[in-house]
């Protein structure tokens, strides 16, 4: 069995290398001399593989992502474990930037802190090969972004600092877990443990006064779009190839979006997952308990109202994000750079959103470790789906 597994992993690595080589270095065509392709890497947060209309979810509205699917190749089984115990933001991002597996990324982190291995990161390698490197959005990596990228703007934290205070949340979780009979209905930070009923108005995804992704007066997805277009306008007058790392915080919670996008959805038209359960049946004190912060976002046990409400906000956040991606693509086309640009779209991991009695990502189900992954650009087959299994970091390397 071990021998077969080792053989399978070897075949997987070889297959990934061959596929990427085919896409980016097609030997059947004479390459243009001294012309390097641009790379735009669009990275979303907590976006599961089943959250794109063109990939089978007919309840969500994603016209621009649908167009990426039509114009490129989709890897329908891309996986990113993201930590030692399930999908986690920081670990998956460290793996991506360092090009190392989950088992080695943490060791490499010690060198990042000392700043003595930054030249081995993905963007620094591109810079050494003549690329201008740009970054905006969520970072959530120990290495300093402004020492890795040449141009950075609006570097965002892993979680918004105001409405959903991480320290406050952890303190309350710890206090509840130490009580003899933990009360899941106890007062939680703003936005947690809701909605309890149709009359629960403790949180509004459209209220800019709640902060979160509205911090600074404009939704963070829109700020990232504006930054991206500024970078593109700067690059269009230069002959230097560019690498853009565009990391959306959406659709991570707090799943906020303007009212226009919220109004596109109704709980009445949102279906429950086939694997919906009011309570995760195993390991109650860990996955389905208050100790896992993602799981504390909705009441225990899960109600149909809570799951449909969170799903509505999740979909609205993705549709709003989709609109920003559309504007970035429009700017690329207007710049004249689109024909020599590869676009890679993916996410750090997925999300449960009511499946198996879970809401979050800290588990090893498909919905949590399987993000969407789309590549388009010169010579990339259009409207193609590859159903083989790929491990995320192997493909990116």
For the stretch 308-317, pLDDT in tens is 999 999 999 9
Q: In CATH, what is the architecture of 36-396?
A: 3-Layer(aba) Sandwich (3.40)
**Spans in the chain with pLDDT lower than 70:** 1-34, 82-87, 105-117, 161-167, 177, 181-188, 283-291, 389-397
Residue boundaries of the structural domains of the chain: 36-396
H helical segments located in the chain: 2-24, 63-71, 89-98, 102-114, 122-128, 145-148, 166-177, 220-235, 259-262, 304-335, 366-369, 392-396
Global pTM reads 0.86
Which residues does 139 contact at the CB level (< 8 Å), separation at least 6?
A: 93, 145, 155, 156, 157, 247
- By DSSP bridging, strand 78-79 and strand 38-44 are unpaired
Q: How many CB atoms lie within 10 A of CB 304?
A: 13
Which residues does 66 contact at the CB level (< 8 Å), separation at least 6?
A: 52, 53, 54
Give how far the C-alpha of residue 291 lies from the chain's centroid of Cα atoms, to the nearest Å: 23
Give the pLDDT confidence of 28-86 residue by residue, as tens digits. 444 455 689 999 999 999 999 999 999 999 999 999 999 999 999 999 998 877 666 66
Which residues does 126 contact at the CB level (< 8 Å), separation at least 6?
A: 39, 133, 243
């Amino acid at each position: 069995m071990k021998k077969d597994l080792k053989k399978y992993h070897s075949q997987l690595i070889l297959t990934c290398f061959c596929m990427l080589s085919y896409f980016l270095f097609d030997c059947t065509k004479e390459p243009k001399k001294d012309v390097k392709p641009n790379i735009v890497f669009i990275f979303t947060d907590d976006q599961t593989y089943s959250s794109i209309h063109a990939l089978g979810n007919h309840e969500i509205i994603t016209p621009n992502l649908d167009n990426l699917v039509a114009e490129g190749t989709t890897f329908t089984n891309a996986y990113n474990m993201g930590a030692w115990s399930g999908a986690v933001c920081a670990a998956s991002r460290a793996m991506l930037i360092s090009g190392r597996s989950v088992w080695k990324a943490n060791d490499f982190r010690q060198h990042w802190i000392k700043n003595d291995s930054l030249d081995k990161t993905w963007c620094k390698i591109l810079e050494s090969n003549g690329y201008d490197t740009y970054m905006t959005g969520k970072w959530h990596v120990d290495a300093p972004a402004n020492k890795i990228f040449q141009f950075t703007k609006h570097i965002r934290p892993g979680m918004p600092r105001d409405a959903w205070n991480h320290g406050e949340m952890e303190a309350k979780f710890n206090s509840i877990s130490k009580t003899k009979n933990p009360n899941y209905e106890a007062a939680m930070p703003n936005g947690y443990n809701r909605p309890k009923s149709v009359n629960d108005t403790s949180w509004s995804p459209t209220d800019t006064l709640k902060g979160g992704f509205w911090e600074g007066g404009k939704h963070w997805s829109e700020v990232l779009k504006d930054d991206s277009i500024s970078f593109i306008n700067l690059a269009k007058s230069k002959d230097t190839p560019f690498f853009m790392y565009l990391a959306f915080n959406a659709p991570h919670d707090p799943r906020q979006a303007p009212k226009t996008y919220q109004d596109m959805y109704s709980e009445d038209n949102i279906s429950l997952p086939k694997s919906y359960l009011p309570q995760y049946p195993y390991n109650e004190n860990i996955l389905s308990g208050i100790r896992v912060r993602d799981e504390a976002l909705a009441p225990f046990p899960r109600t149909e109202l809570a799951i449909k409400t969170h799903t509505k906000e999740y979909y609205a956040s993705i549709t709003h994000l989709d609109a920003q991606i559309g504007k970035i693509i429009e700017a690329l086309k207007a710049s004249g750079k689109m024909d020599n640009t590869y676009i890679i779209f993916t996410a750090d991991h997925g999300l449960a959103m009511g499946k198996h009695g879970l809401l979050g990502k800290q588990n090893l189900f498909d919905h949590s470790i399987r993000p969407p992954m789309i590549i388009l650009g010169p010579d990339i087959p259009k409207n193609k789906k590859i159903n083989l299994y790929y491990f995320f970091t192997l493909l990116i390397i």
